[in-house]
Amino acid sequence: MIEIIDLHKKLSGQTVLKGIDLVINRGETLTIIGRSGEGKSVLLKHIIGLFRPDSGNIRVDGENITRHKTSDLYRLRRRFGVLFQGSALFDSLTVGENVGLALREHKTFPEYEIRRIVAEKLARVDLKGAENKKPAELSGGMKKRVGLARAIAMSPEYILYDEPTTGLDPITADSINDLIIQLKTDLNITSIAVTHDMASAYKISDRIAMLFDGRIIAIGTPEEIKNSDSEAVQQFVTGKAKGPITDF
């Protein structure tokens, strides 16, 4: 379980997060929606300690990570997998080396076992046998898949997805949605996703939270969000240019 308590963060003079309160339960997929530049990526990065909050706390399974030393953060991060917004594949490494990097660096298994795990994770994202390709040779959708395989390489308990479907065609996007659902059911992973793709949010989420003006203004099941009486939520989920969000 991840608890975010009254999280505040100012970045380059501008207050991005103004008191976030959010609980993510074990085994659920929670999706955070919100406009571009609202601070969704910044919020995700706080959860794995890439940013430190100005005030407020984050607890992972009861452990308060906000004042963790680097070594404690590294220990904690081994339980997390992250899919970055732009995939963030290491372009000097092959696909296989990308997926196997953490396994090799942490010497968790002997080399033949690592090769087996890499092949297994790639097969899981429908990229069997792509080990020797370079990231530059891949399409955007394939990069996301490799990023996903890399995120699950260390068999994490938690996965953070930063816009897993953005920039993909609807069919490829839906195949990523299916993968996310499959990972959750097969491996019982707790997930936090960030997106502004509503089709994806409705499909993968147990609950959806909407971030607006640095706060969570609504949270509920996809059904509840779809039928929310908040005008801001309605404007966002139906994608209207005019409404309380843009008048703000």
Partner 1 sequence: MNLISYLGYLVIRFIEHVGRLSILIGQLVLSLHLFPKNLRLISQQMLYMGVNSLPLVLFTSLFTGGVTAVQAAYQFRGIVPMTYLGGAVGKAVVIELGPVLTALVIAGRVGASIAAELGTMKVTEQIDALETMAIDPVRYLVMPRFISGIVMLPVLTVFSNFIAIVGGLAVSVWFLDLTTYSFLNSLKMFFELQDLFGGLLKSIAFGAIISIIGCYNGFATVGGAEGVGKSTTRAVVVSSILILLADYGIASLVFG
Q: How far is the CB of 218 from Mg ion (least distance, A)?
A: 19
Burial tier of 183 (Cβ tally within 10 Å: 0-12, 13-18, 19+): buried
Closest CA relative to residue 147, chosen from 114, 116, 113, 124: 124
Order across the sheet with 14-24: list the strands: 14-24, 2-11, 55-60, 63-64
- 137 belongs to the binding site for partner 1 (CB under 8 A): no
Please identify which residue in 1, 6, 10, 11 interacts with ligand ATP, judged by CB under 6 A. Answer: 11
Six token digits for residue 68: 């963790």
If the CB atoms of residues 46 and 124 are measured against ligand ATP, the closer one turns out to be 46
Please identify which residue in 6, 25, 86, 223 interacts with partner 1, judged by CB under 8 A. Answer: 86
Rounded Cα distance between 61 and 49, Å, is 15
- 194 belongs to the binding site for partner 1 (CB under 8 A): no
- 13 belongs to the binding site for ligand ATP (CB under 6 A): no
- 89 belongs to the binding site for partner 1 (CB under 8 A): yes
Q: How far is the CB of 49 from partner 1 (least distance, A)?
A: 8
Please identify which residue in 1, 26, 74, 132 interacts with partner 1, judged by CB under 8 A. Answer: 74
- 31 belongs to the binding site for Mg ion (CB under 5 A): no
Residue 11's alpha-carbon distances to 42, 47, 65, 163, 213, in angstroms, are 9, 16, 20, 21, 14
- 105 belongs to the binding site for partner 1 (CB under 8 A): yes
The interface partner of residue 46, options being Mg ion, partner 1, ligand ATP, none and the CB cut-off 5 to 8 Å by kind, is none
The beta strand positions in 118-188, using DSSP E, are 158-162
- 12 belongs to the binding site for ligand ATP (CB under 6 A): yes
Please identify which residue in 24, 30, 39, 153 interacts with ligand ATP, judged by CB under 6 A. Answer: 39
Residue 248's alpha-carbon distances to 6, 12, 36, in angstroms, are 22, 21, 15
Rounded Cα distance between 55 and 36, Å, is 23
Order across the sheet with 215-220: list the strands: 80-83, 158-162, 190-195, 29-33, 207-212, 215-220
Please identify which residue in 29, 31, 41, 98 interacts with Mg ion, judged by CB under 5 A. Answer: 41
What is the DSSP annotation of 6-26?
A: EEEEEETTEEEEEEEEEEE-T
Please identify which residue in 41, 165, 191, 200 interacts with ligand ATP, judged by CB under 6 A. Answer: 41
**Interface residues with ligand ATP (CB under 6 A)?**
11-12, 16, 34, 36-42, 85, 196
Chain residues that interact with partner 1, rule: CB under 8 A:
45, 48, 50, 70, 74-75, 77-78, 80, 82, 84-86, 88-92, 101-102, 105-106, 154
